[in-house]
Structure 1
Amino acid sequence: MAPEVKVPLLEGRGATPAQTLGNIVVSIVGTGVLGLPYAFRTAGWLAGTLGVAGAGAATFYCMLLLLDCRDKLREQETEEDGLGDEQSRHGDGGNYTYGDLGERCFGPVGRHFTEAIIVLCQTGGTVAYLVFIGQNISSVLPALSPAIVVLALLLPVEVALSFVRSLSALAPFSILADACTVLAVAAVVKEDVQLLVERGQPFADRSAFAGLWGVPFACGVAVFCFEGFCLTLALEASMSNRAKFRPVLLQAIAGVTVVYVGFGVCGYLAYGDATRDIVTLNLPSNWSTAAVKVVLCVALALTFAVMMHPIHEIVESRLLAPGGWVRRRGGFVERAALHLSRVAVVATLAAIACFVPAFGEFAAFVGSTVCALLSFVLPALFHLRVVGPTASTWARAVDYFFLLSGLVFAGHGMYTVLSPQ
């Protein structure tokens, strides 16, 4: 059975509401926030606001669908086998992973498909990290192209970090990355406010609605920004009082959505049509801006290993399958295969990052395809399968709405990338 996505901050049980609130924010907020002003430039400040707010509301609702599915399955197992058997299969009171839900709904195929989507989503996030770092370091050191930064500077570091197999050893880097993201956001907001004060009329020459096709783009970036969706069940299971999880989740999603909207609007109003796909690239060329970019990139480079951990676990679980050639050889062959698999995965992602032309478009593509499937389509599909037979007509209608909307959204994202420009 392939392992599910894990986060160091979630190890153990008994988290308070305040700790859970912090864990939710840490798992959601990532580099995508720095691409929001560009999304607002593409969609318009009003359309972007509606897109981000809609993505936040939809994300919260679909997280609740996962919890409803878990509760229903736990109830069914309790009725069929008794609490004792349930605990033996799922640990503390019937905990489920995202992959468990897929298997309970559609068998082994459901698990494999769900975990494949999780891997693709994590892969998109890691490639976005590399693209982000490459473009920012290249802006500080113009002599180095983003591709050179990724292949010559980042690849050796990430290969070395990939051999660190302990999540607890990598946990401090994840916290450092979030602190640096806050620092970068604060630096951008400071520049935004100064420019807005100088302009005097912030909404002058700024489009509220830039066109119909800009809205899906903004929604895609927003969905990409709401990272950590597959951690919903683990976050809830980490609480000492699970009954308080839903209000805590609402507070976190609402707070993050307000921050996202404010950051995106301020960035677009400050820079207008000059807004870059990574808004830190709009900052003035001085030592303080360069320092912010470098510190942020170093932190993200270190956190890359944490993002890669679930990918390595799933790849290695397949590589070391019982009865497989590698497992039968054991010893040196097994250790070498594990190390080579990690090198190959990291090198492949680095090569992909060299061909990604722009962070904003890539974030929108990942958000509107695999993230949309993970965040909207699968929760609605699982809910229809598990809870649908006993749910109200209205609840089933909402499930079908999210299912169809997510598929259309993903199809539009794929069409946008594959269609000739």
Structure 2
Amino acid sequence: MGFDKEAGSSSRTLTPIPREDTPLLGKQRPLSSQAKTFANVFIAIVGAGVLGLPYAFKRTGWLTGLLMLFSVAALTYHCMMLLVRTRRRLESVDGFSKIASFGDLGFTVCGWIGRVVVDIMMVLSQAGFCVSYLIFIGNTMANLFNSSPATHVAAYVSSRIWGISAKSFYIWGCLPFQLGINSIKTLTHLAPLSIFADVVDLGAMGVVMADEAGIVWKNGANVQAFGGLSVFFYGMGVAVYAFEGIGMALHLESEMEDKRKFGKILAIAMAFIALMYGGFGLLGYLAFGANTRDIITANMGKGLISTIVQLGLCINLFFTFPLMMHPVYEIVERRFWGGRYCIWLRWLLVLLVSLVALMVPNFGDFLSLIGSSVCCGLGFVLPSLFHLLVCKEEMGWIGLSTDVGIFVLGLVLAVSGTWYALTEIFFS
């Protein structure tokens, strides 16, 4: 296989240069207990994608949506463990130095090509998450302040402020403030915002689910169990996006105090998240049926609690933006600026992300695009490929067939799902 022994020491030789695996606080944190590891897995996976699940259930049907969610959860867990097993095999058997990140693993297995592929996919996925944040903020703010309950579903998108659409107005309004907070060199001062984001996420989900449960109890909408094969790739893309956190798998395992129990804790966390996602998506679809919007909070009406929840989510995602973009800055600055801080590169990236957000009309379709393209590559294709290359000599035919099957499935989902999502975005 010809692994490069220098790859194993890449984390040591590149220590002074920030990388995609650099801790957010800039220093090594103490090892995590089982409870903290569970919380870290939850934080790494749960994000804005959950808000598009009810709309995905509307498109795919509630039973199809549940089957997709649980299948993707199981497959994502398996692929995260493939990465962990691959690293353990390289470090314990082949004698490589500490492999700290997904990029390190790609470099160890496939040389510089492996690291470049992982870096590109990490940049696209992280930037894609931030695009979805801006779309959510723009559409939600337009829905709150530029429409009334009596207006058509799409009226808030077509309403205009100073000659431009309301959504575009709010996204452009975010730009100068994003340029400012993304100019902060270190994330030390922004780290508390991650805790705030998690609290807001959980609180908002709880309020939305309670509101939906009340509507279902009084008068549930008519729903369908199956949406047909034509929306299969759309649903898979959204499900993969919702569970995207595989880039943190190696980091989470390395931080755990008792690494032998990582698989068990990860399985429990993934099962809990899958059940939570399933309940959230199902309740939203049962409550609003065919009227379910691409961002479920847009169905909540104009009450005080609804407004507070939606504004809280917007503030949460606004301040999560620089946290999610930080790995992008580390990778781009390492490759194009010698690993040194570069403010104009950061501003250029923020501007590019904002421009993409302005051009994408639908939150749900964009989730499907990111999930189908880079998330399938990161989540399924690369883990199965790396594990196959490293462990093929000691695997039986079942293990080989499983890795090859996941690799092929990931490619099919990535290519077909990306084509479907692009068709929906540009031609629907």
Q: Normalization by structure 2: what TM-score?
A: 0.88
- Quote the sequence identity (%): 36
Residues 23/341 of structure 1: CA separation in 2 closer, same or farther (3 Å cut): same
Between the two proteins, the alignment pairs up a number of residues equal to 391
Instruction: Report the counterpart of residue 374 of structure 1 in structure 2.
Output: 378
> Per-residue deviation at 1:7?
5.0
The RMSD of aligned alpha carbons is 1.7
The more displaced of 184-193 and 369-378 is: 184-193
Instruction: Report the counterpart of residue 154 of structure 1 in structure 2.
Output: 174
Q: Which whole-Å CA distance do the structure 1 matches of 2:404 and 2:72 have between them?
A: 17
Instruction: Report the counterpart of residue 403 of structure 1 in structure 2.
Output: 407
SS in 1 for 2:268: helix
Q: Which whole-Å CA distance do the structure 2 matches of 1:304 and 1:392 have between them?
A: 44
SS in 1 for 2:188: helix
Q: Which whole-Å CA distance do the structure 2 matches of 1:42 and 1:389 have between them?
A: 43
The aligned runs of 1:258-277 (5 Å cut-off) are 258-277=275-294
Instruction: Report the counterpart of residue 81 of structure 1 in structure 2.
Output: none
Instruction: Report the counterpart of residue 221 of structure 1 in structure 2.
Output: 238
Mapped pair 1:293 → 2:310:
yes
Query: Is this contact kept in 2: 1:122–1:307, CA < 8 A?
Result: yes
Which of the residues 158, 163, 167 maps onto 2:183?
163
Instruction: Report the counterpart of residue 194 of structure 2 in structure 1.
Output: 174
Which of the residues 204, 210, 228 maps onto 1:190?
210
Query: Is this contact kept in 2: 1:13–1:237, CA < 8 A?
Result: no
Which of the residues 346, 351, 358 maps onto 1:354?
358
> Per-residue deviation at 1:380?
0.5
The one-letter amino acid of 1:279's match is: I
Mapped pair 1:234 → 2:251:
yes
> Per-residue deviation at 1:418?
4.0
The more displaced of 56-65 and 219-228 is: 219-228
Q: Deviations over 1:194-216 (max 9, x none)?
A: 111112xx4x7310001112232
Q: Which whole-Å CA distance do the structure 1 matches of 2:316 and 2:422 have between them?
A: 33
Residues 262/418 of structure 1: CA separation in 2 closer, same or farther (3 Å cut): closer
Mapped pair 1:119 → 2:135:
no
> Per-residue deviation at 1:369?
0.9
Q: Deviations over 1:244-298 (max 9, x none)?
A: 1110000100000000001111110110000001000000212221111112111
Q: Which whole-Å CA distance do the structure 1 matches of 2:145 and 2:266 have between them?
A: 41
The one-letter amino acid of 1:282's match is: N
Which of the residues 329, 338, 347 maps onto 1:312?
329
Q: Which structure is higher in helix share?
A: 1
The one-letter amino acid of 1:375's match is: G
Gaps of 5+ in 2: 1-13, 147-159
Q: Which whole-Å CA distance do the structure 2 matches of 1:74 and 1:24 have between them?
A: 23
Q: Which whole-Å CA distance do the structure 2 matches of 1:198 and 1:265 have between them?
A: 16
Q: Which whole-Å CA distance do the structure 1 matches of 2:132 and 2:205 have between them?
A: 18
Mapped pair 1:69 → 2:86:
yes
> Per-residue deviation at 1:219?
1.7
**Structure 1 ranges of 4+ moved more than 3 A:** 5-11, 417-421
Q: Which whole-Å CA distance do the structure 2 matches of 1:266 and 1:353 have between them?
A: 28
Q: Which whole-Å CA distance do the structure 2 matches of 1:115 and 1:176 have between them?
A: 28
Query: Is this contact kept in 1: 2:216–2:287, CA < 8 A?
Result: yes
Q: Which whole-Å CA distance do the structure 1 matches of 2:351 and 2:370 have between them?
A: 20
The more displaced of 58-67 and 138-147 is: 138-147
Q: Which whole-Å CA distance do the structure 2 matches of 1:180 and 1:8 have between them?
A: 20
Q: Deviations over 1:36-80 (max 9, x none)?
A: 0000000000000000000100000001100110011012333xx
Mapped pair 1:33 → 2:50:
yes
> Per-residue deviation at 1:315?
1.0
Instruction: Report the counterpart of residue 364 of structure 1 in structure 2.
Output: 368
Query: Is this contact kept in 1: 2:368–2:421, CA < 8 A?
Result: no
> Per-residue deviation at 1:226?
1.1
SS in 1 for 2:103: helix
Instruction: Report the counterpart of residue 139 of structure 2 in structure 1.
Output: 135
The one-letter amino acid of 1:55's match is: V
Instruction: Report the counterpart of residue 82 of structure 1 in structure 2.
Output: none
Residues 207/11 of structure 1: CA separation in 2 closer, same or farther (3 Å cut): farther
Instruction: Report the counterpart of residue 24 of structure 2 in structure 1.
Output: 8
Q: Deviations over 1:229-249 (max 9, x none)?
A: 100000000011111111000
The one-letter amino acid of 2:306's match is: T
SS in 2 for 1:213: helix
Q: Which whole-Å CA distance do the structure 2 matches of 1:230 and 1:253 have between them?
A: 15
Q: Deviations over 1:367-398 (max 9, x none)?
A: 01100000000001001100112111101101
Which of the residues 262, 267, 286 maps onto 1:250?
267
Residues 11/158 of structure 1: CA separation in 2 closer, same or farther (3 Å cut): farther
Q: Normalization by structure 1: what TM-score?
A: 0.89
